[in-house]
């Protein structure tokens, strides 16, 4: 994700507490109260500029969505989309995925989305991939029993290593597409990266995998 310095981003994020959660540690175990309903909670880790999570929240008002993004200069664009959409089933958090266990209680999340995660192609950086075993342990902890990870990328190497990681962890692979846009999958909401790379002719890989109980 290309970074532009946006010194005003922090203040803007702080000005919209109805969308941007300032103290996510205080929300642990209280997300249904925060959303003021008992709807399922789906999170996207590495949400970028928010096109996917906002599109999903608009398309699925009976689900609560939370976008997690570490860069404030990027998530501020997601905030713009949330303000424009004017919806109550979307929250954003400017935090690192590494802290997930501090933000969610065991079993509090119903689904995890990972879209076009940074590939970290070098072997010595494999631990930084959001599909590495240590991240899967965190997702399993915060997800409901048999919770799912839905994953999209245009990066073949990341896709293959992630499928291996899911499988090595003992997860059940329930859906795999090697060319999502030519498949019969319905209801796809494109991310910014997906738009960019599919325009360049890259196939989009997609998987759904489920933790076993």
Which residues sit at the interface with ligand SAM, rule CB under 6 A? 1, 45-48, 68-71, 74, 96-98, 115-118, 191-194
d(CA 111, CA 176): 17
CA 33 to chain centre: 21
Q: Return left, alpha or beta for 29; rule: phi > 0 is left, psi -120 to 50 is alpha, else beta.
A: left
The reply, when asked if residue 86 is annotated as ligand binding, is no
d(CA 67, CA 204): 21
The reply, when asked if residue 69 is annotated as ligand binding, is yes
As measured in angstroms, the least distance from the Cβ of 46 to ligand SAM is 3
Q: Is 118 a catalytic residue?
A: yes
As measured in angstroms, the least distance from the Cβ of 64 to ligand SAM is 19
The reply, when asked if residue 154 is annotated as ligand binding, is yes
Comparison of 39 and 71: residue with beta carbon closer to ligand SAM: 71
The reply, when asked if residue 174 is annotated as ligand binding, is no
Residue 188's nearest CA partner among 200, 173, 198 is 198
Comparison of 22 and 172: residue with beta carbon closer to ligand SAM: 22
Comparison of 108 and 194: residue with beta carbon closer to ligand SAM: 194
The residue from 11, 118, 145, 184 that is catalytic is: 118
As measured in angstroms, the least distance from the Cβ of 135 to ligand SAM is 8
Going by the annotation, the residues of the binding site for substrate are: 122, 154, 191-194
- Which residues are marked as active site? 118
């Amino acid at each position: 994700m290309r970074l532009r310095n946006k010194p005003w981003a922090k203040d803007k994020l702080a000005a919209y507490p109805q969308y941007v959660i300032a103290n996510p540690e205080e929300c642990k175990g209280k997300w249904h109260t925060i959303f003021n309903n008992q709807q399922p909670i789906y999170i996207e880790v590495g949400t970028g500029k928010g096109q996917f999570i906002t599109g999903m929240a608009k398309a699925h008002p009976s689900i609560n969505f939370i976008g997690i993004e570490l860069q404030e200069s990027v998530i501020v664009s997601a905030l713009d989309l949330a303000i424009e959409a004017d919806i109550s089933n979307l929250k954003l958090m400017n935090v690192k995925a590494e802290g997930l266990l501090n933000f969610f209680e065991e079993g509090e999340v119903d689904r995890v989305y990972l879209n076009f995660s940074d590939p970290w192609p070098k072997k010595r950086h494999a631990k930084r991939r959001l599909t590495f075993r240590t991240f899967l342990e965190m997702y399993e902890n915060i997800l409901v029993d048999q919770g799912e990870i839905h994953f999209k990328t245009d990066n073949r190497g990341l896709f293959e290593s992630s499928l291996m990681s899911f499988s090595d962890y003992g997860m059940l692979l329930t859906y795999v597409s090697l060319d999502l846009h030519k498949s019969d999958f319905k209801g796809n909401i494109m991310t910014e990266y997906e738009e960019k790379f599919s325009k360049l002719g890259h196939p989009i890989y997609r998987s759904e995998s489920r933790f076993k109980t």
